[in-house]
Amino acid sequence: MIVSKTARLAGEEVRFLRTYLGFRGVDFARVMGVEKETVSRWENDHERIGGTADRALRLLVLTRKPASDYAPEALTQLLEGIREETEALRLRVERSRGSRWAGSAEVRA
Protein backbone atom coordinates (compact mmCIF):
# COMPACT_ATOMS: atom_id res chain seq x y z
CA MET A 1 0.00 0.00 0.00
CA ILE A 2 2.83 2.41 0.87
CA VAL A 3 4.57 2.06 -2.50
CA SER A 4 1.39 2.88 -4.39
CA LYS A 5 0.75 6.24 -2.73
CA THR A 6 1.24 9.24 -5.00
CA ALA A 7 2.92 11.56 -2.48
CA ARG A 8 6.60 11.30 -1.66
CA LEU A 9 7.46 8.87 1.14
CA ALA A 10 7.52 10.20 4.71
CA GLY A 11 10.32 9.35 7.13
CA GLU A 12 8.32 6.73 8.97
CA GLU A 13 7.52 5.02 5.66
CA VAL A 14 11.18 5.06 4.56
CA ARG A 15 12.15 3.39 7.85
CA PHE A 16 9.37 0.81 7.52
CA LEU A 17 10.34 -0.10 3.94
CA ARG A 18 14.05 -0.28 4.82
CA THR A 19 13.34 -2.72 7.65
CA TYR A 20 10.83 -4.60 5.48
CA LEU A 21 13.69 -5.20 3.04
CA GLY A 22 15.96 -6.27 5.90
CA PHE A 23 18.57 -3.52 5.64
CA ARG A 24 20.40 -1.90 8.52
CA GLY A 25 20.68 1.86 8.06
CA VAL A 26 24.34 1.78 7.01
CA ASP A 27 23.75 -0.98 4.45
CA PHE A 28 20.66 0.72 3.08
CA ALA A 29 22.68 3.92 2.66
CA ARG A 30 25.30 2.03 0.67
CA VAL A 31 22.67 0.46 -1.60
CA MET A 32 20.99 3.84 -2.15
CA GLY A 33 24.34 5.55 -2.81
CA VAL A 34 24.04 8.04 0.05
CA GLU A 35 25.68 8.62 3.44
CA LYS A 36 24.20 6.92 6.52
CA GLU A 37 23.47 10.38 7.94
CA THR A 38 21.25 11.06 4.93
CA VAL A 39 19.18 7.95 5.67
CA SER A 40 18.87 9.10 9.28
CA ARG A 41 17.67 12.54 8.16
CA TRP A 42 15.11 10.94 5.82
CA GLU A 43 13.78 8.62 8.53
CA ASN A 44 13.57 11.36 11.17
CA ASP A 45 11.88 13.83 8.80
CA HIS A 46 14.79 16.28 8.97
CA GLU A 47 15.16 16.04 5.18
CA ARG A 48 12.71 14.83 2.55
CA ILE A 49 13.80 11.85 0.49
CA GLY A 50 14.57 12.98 -3.05
CA GLY A 51 12.40 11.97 -5.97
CA THR A 52 14.97 9.62 -7.49
CA ALA A 53 15.71 7.91 -4.17
CA ASP A 54 11.97 7.65 -3.48
CA ARG A 55 11.39 5.85 -6.79
CA ALA A 56 14.46 3.63 -6.29
CA LEU A 57 13.22 2.54 -2.84
CA ARG A 58 9.77 1.75 -4.23
CA LEU A 59 11.37 -0.27 -7.03
CA LEU A 60 13.48 -2.21 -4.50
CA VAL A 61 10.35 -3.04 -2.52
CA LEU A 62 8.49 -4.18 -5.63
CA THR A 63 11.30 -6.34 -6.98
CA ARG A 64 12.72 -7.96 -3.83
CA LYS A 65 11.23 -10.41 -1.38
CA PRO A 66 10.76 -9.10 2.16
CA ALA A 67 13.45 -10.14 4.59
CA SER A 68 12.61 -12.85 7.10
CA ASP A 69 15.94 -12.25 8.81
CA TYR A 70 18.99 -10.13 8.12
CA ALA A 71 21.26 -12.12 5.80
CA PRO A 72 24.60 -10.33 5.21
CA GLU A 73 25.45 -12.66 2.30
CA ALA A 74 22.33 -11.48 0.46
CA LEU A 75 23.49 -7.88 0.88
CA THR A 76 26.95 -8.81 -0.36
CA GLN A 77 25.43 -10.31 -3.51
CA LEU A 78 23.38 -7.17 -4.10
CA LEU A 79 26.35 -4.87 -3.58
CA GLU A 80 28.57 -6.96 -5.87
CA GLY A 81 26.13 -6.13 -8.64
CA ILE A 82 26.66 -2.39 -8.12
CA ARG A 83 29.40 -1.09 -10.38
CA GLU A 84 31.78 1.59 -9.21
CA GLU A 85 32.43 3.09 -12.61
CA THR A 86 29.92 5.47 -14.10
CA GLU A 87 27.53 3.88 -16.53
CA ALA A 88 24.38 5.46 -17.86
CA LEU A 89 21.39 3.51 -16.61
CA ARG A 90 17.90 4.63 -17.40
CA LEU A 91 15.34 3.62 -14.79
CA ARG A 92 11.66 4.01 -15.38
CA VAL A 93 9.00 3.53 -12.73
CA GLU A 94 5.41 4.23 -13.59
CA ARG A 95 1.94 3.38 -12.49
CA SER A 96 0.08 1.02 -14.76
CA ARG A 97 -3.63 0.37 -14.87
CA GLY A 98 -5.01 -0.86 -11.60
CA SER A 99 -2.68 1.44 -9.60
CA ARG A 100 0.23 -1.03 -9.70
CA TRP A 101 3.81 0.16 -10.04
CA ALA A 102 6.00 -1.25 -12.79
CA GLY A 103 9.71 -0.73 -13.30
CA SER A 104 12.23 -1.24 -16.06
CA ALA A 105 15.89 -0.44 -16.61
CA GLU A 106 18.17 -0.19 -19.63
CA VAL A 107 21.88 0.49 -19.95
CA ARG A 108 22.75 3.28 -22.36
CA ALA A 109 25.91 2.84 -24.34
Q: Is there a contact between 70 and 49 (Cβ–Cβ < 8 Å)?
A: no
Q: Give the mean model confidence (pLDDT) for residues 50-77.
A: 77
Share of the chain above pLDDT 90, in %: 37
Terminus-to-terminus CA distance in the chain, angstroms? 36
Q: What structural domains does the chain harbor?
A: 2-84 (1.10.260.40)
Q: How confident is the model at residue 45 (pLDDT cuts 50, 70, 90)?
A: very high
Q: Is there a contact between 101 and 4 (Cβ–Cβ < 8 Å)?
A: yes
- Residue with the bigger pLDDT between 1 and 96: it is 1
pLDDT of 22 strictly over 70: yes
pLDDT of 11 strictly over 70: yes
C-alpha to C-alpha distances, 3 to 8, 14, 68, 74, nearest whole angstrom: 10, 10, 19, 23
Tell me the pLDDT of the chain averaged across its residues. 79
Interval 76-96: pLDDT, tens? 655 565 555 555 556 666 766
State residue 75's pLDDT score: 57
